Amino acid sequence: MHKGFIGNHPWVLMGVFNASLAIIESSSSTSIPTIVMREFKECVDRLEVLDVNQTGLQFTWNQQPNATSGLLWKIDRIMANEVFIEKYSNAYGIFQPYRIYDHSPAILKLQSGGVQCPKPFSFSNHVALNDDFKPTVNKVWNMECVGHKMYQVVSKLRSLKKPLRKLMWSKGNLHDRVNNIKKELDMVQIQLDQNPNSVELRVKESATLKLSNEALIEEETYLRQRAKIKWLRVGDCNSSYFHKVFKGKVHRSHIHSVADQFGHVFEGAVVPQVFVDHFTNFLGTSAPTLGINEPNSLFNARIPSDVAIHMVRPVLDEEVRSPVFGIGDFKSPGPDGFSALFFKKTWDIIRAGIMEAIKEFFINGQFLKEINHTVIALLPKTNVPSQVNDFRPISCCNVLYKIISKIVTNRIKMGLNWVVSENQFTFIPGRRISDNILLT
């Protein structure tokens, strides 16, 4: 009833709900959702609210706070509707320790808007559906460029960013265009209902319907790339449930508060530096190393000479092409912003340049910093990450880097059987750890 009264205004619900939404929100060994869970989830779905980005304790209620054992549940929540999430995108909740209580104190913080930084270039896959896409790429790629082959490729990719950005916004805002075409199609069909014999209206309906289908495909391609949700099927992007999940995922991706390894809590603009300091110390720094006098004495296994020669043979065209078309279309791009789909759609144009650049690397071993750079992304290891140790860093590499590393990996696989012991099963195709169990 209150949802109907609120209407299209920001709304937050916080407090004790005496029910959880999922079986993972309990420390017990419950394997199936209870009736209370199902009813609570149905209620939350009807209210169209979702959890606000939060930090602190994952389980908010302790059955026996003064004892050494007892069930832990998440029955306290801070939830908000989509209007609130959009208006207060920097809002987040903190669930503090219980101390002498059985419930975790919940605090909602409404942060002011952060500093708007310029967004780096990121290729949107829906641009490849534009009729002017290939001619634009072909025009830039055929420009004269002097230098090493890899430098030429990097320079041309850099020169492509501006025209592709222009192409990306040439038709205006994608979502507004989809909505306007839908309204236009509705108007045409209403007019056609009143004048069913009008040939002009039927032609207009057919043309508008074609534009609508093309715009919907572009929008769905864009959303699939942004969402990074693997359960999507065709048509799911246009559902209200998808948009709700997507907005919730984007909202939860922000890290507003974090504790370092000593337990000191940091908020706001200083959070990024906490991660930089932590991983700089964790990963270590470069230091001088000592050489090995007799390296051959450390290794008994040897790769046969014919296999070794085959591993360092000249790179073939298929070895370059196969990794390109083996990368998923919606994989995260590297620092240059180009996805694998860009290389697939323009392969007939850029093929020769990419082949020459990759083969040149395997001859001279020179690697440009623009290709070797990566974007470090943080993945949470827990449902409610609160410390720097709760995040795992991964590297988002450029496509050219992935191609080279895949070629090297495929060749290393050839010699693994000769240097890895027979009782070791990791990374060896055809070996299974269950074989060891059977032998035992």
- Distance CA(303)–CA(309), nearest Å, equals 10
Question: pLDDT-derived band of residue 211, with 50, 70 and 90 as boundaries?
Answer: low
CA within 13 Å, CB half, 283? 10
Q: Which long-range contacts (CB under 8 A, 24 or more apart) does 417-423 make?
A: 418/301, 418/302, 418/303, 418/304, 418/307, 419/299, 419/301, 419/302, 419/303, 420/301, 421/301
Residue corresponding to tokens 């002011």: 112
Question: Which residue from 398, 395, 400, 396 is spatially nearest to 336, judged by alpha carbons?
Answer: 398
What would the pLDDT profile of 283-342 be if each residue is shown by its tens digit?
877 788 888 887 777 778 888 899 999 899 999 999 999 999 999 888 888 899 999 999
3-class DSSP assignment, residue 224? helix
User: Tokens standing for 171?
Assistant: 């038709």
Q: Mean pLDDT, the chain, as a whole number?
A: 82
Q: Look at 102-116, 228-242, 420-434 and tell me which has the smallest mean pLDDT.
A: 228-242
User: Cβ atoms within 10 A of the Cβ of 136, count?
Assistant: 17
CB-based contact 327:404 (threshold 8 Å) = no
Residue 373, classified by CB atoms within 10 Å of its CB into exposed (0-12), middle (13-18) or buried (19+), is middle
Contacts of 192 (CB under 8 A, 6+ apart): 198, 201, 202, 205
The mean pLDDT of 46-74, rounded to a whole number, is: 82
- Report pLDDT for 350: 94
Q: What digits encode the pLDDT tens for the residues 371-419?
A: 998 988 898 888 778 889 889 988 999 999 999 999 999 998 888 888 8
Give the per-residue pLDDT at 114. 57
pTM (2 decimals)? 0.72
User: Residue 222 — pLDDT band, cuts 50, 70, 90?
Assistant: low
Percent of the chain with pLDDT over 90: 26
Domains assigned to the chain: 2-109 (3.60.10.10), 171-252 (no CATH), 255-289 (no CATH)
